[in-house]
Structure 1
């Protein structure tokens, strides 16, 4: 990664945490402790961990699960298809599911996660993304909760990566 550009901070860690706390306050009234928060791996893990802790701080202790989907591989743009590497680990039949993802761009991963949750019998599926990038084409479904309207730049940090690297940065940065 010697030729990787230096990341430019767009959202410092403190602002990331403020956005997460705001999302938790908006989500808490429409879920309950039986809700299954399902993170989309691997990028959504950082956001999901912070969001579930923020929900817990305000008295909402959700269940937790994960879906492992991939549309990027190590590329900087979506391959236009979704690979499912791991499905839900427990039954979600009859439960409200909150799909948690890091960034919404093409909408393919979120749409596939919603489809899977509905096929598994979820009573309701809500979606939350930390960042929503602009996109020239209509996307369905649009997320129910969005933390930050991101610029159309290649983002890293806070779970977002460049070929698997830079996910652990505490800030959200641009790499362009």
Structure 2
């Protein structure tokens, strides 16, 4: 790891290594494939899920699935470590979802607001079936009643970065998931 010149902030502690993530992507692809979803459309919620979604899509390809892919950019955090409670659409879907099986991919399930917002949006547009897949399912009290259909890992009440996830636009490039110190 290279030194950072801007940093009063400490480097994150590794909680899920690149190797553990890679192994879990293959298992997760098998779990999703077992659902036999025809006309599968994957919707990745940006920005935090982009690395996870890319690796999962490639794992799905390796086992013979050929999903279409689209992106939805939502935000409830902006530059903060805590959710504002209000979800905004920053970029909408290009593809139609009507009559489709949709796999919604997000990075972290914590308050649940973003996932519920995205599910409701896609359902209102006529999706046949909406399943959710998250990298980290935080076992915390949710603001709304939602659970993930698939999750790579479970987490606690800690702020995580790396593997596409950031804090104030830093740490997305890390090949692992790390925990930030409380400082």
Q: What TM-score do the two structures reach when normalised by structure 1?
A: 0.96
SS at match of 2:158: coil
What per-residue deviation string (whole Å, max 9, x for no partner) do you get for residues 94-151 of structure 1? Answer: 1010000111111111001101110111011000001011222464221111110012
> How far 1:18 sits from its partner (Å)?
1.1
Alignment partner, residue 27 of structure 2: 22
What per-residue deviation string (whole Å, max 9, x for no partner) do you get for residues 145-169 of structure 1? Answer: 1110012211010111111110110
> How far 1:5 sits from its partner (Å)?
1.5
SS at match of 1:129: strand
Alignment partner, residue 173 of structure 2: 168
Worse-superposed segment, 29-38 or 40-49: 29-38
> How far 1:9 sits from its partner (Å)?
0.7
Alignment partner, residue 124 of structure 2: 119
Q: What TM-score do the two structures reach when normalised by structure 2?
A: 0.92
> How far 1:34 sits from its partner (Å)?
1.5
Q: Map of 1:133-144 to 2, 5 A cutoff? A: 133-137=138-142, 139-144=144-149
1:39–1:100 CA contact under 8 A, matched in 2:
yes
SS at match of 1:30: coil
What per-residue deviation string (whole Å, max 9, x for no partner) do you get for residues 43-77 of structure 1? Answer: 11111100000000001111101111001001001
Output the CA distance in 1 between the equivalents of 2:89 and 2:11: 32
Output the CA distance in 1 between the equivalents of 2:169 and 2:36: 32
In structure 2, runs of 5+ residues without a counterpart are 1-5
Output the CA distance in 2 between the equivalents of 1:71 and 1:168: 21
Output the CA distance in 2 between the equivalents of 1:34 and 1:52: 14
Q: 1:90 aligns with which of 95, 103, 109?
A: 95
Output the CA distance in 2 between the equivalents of 1:139 and 1:14: 33
Output the CA distance in 2 between the equivalents of 1:58 and 1:123: 23
In structure 1, runs of 5+ residues without a counterpart are none
- What RMSD over aligned residues (CA atoms) do the two structures have, in Å? 1.2
Worse-superposed segment, 116-125 or 26-35: 26-35
Alignment partner, residue 52 of structure 2: 47
Distance 1:56 1:6, change over 3 A: same
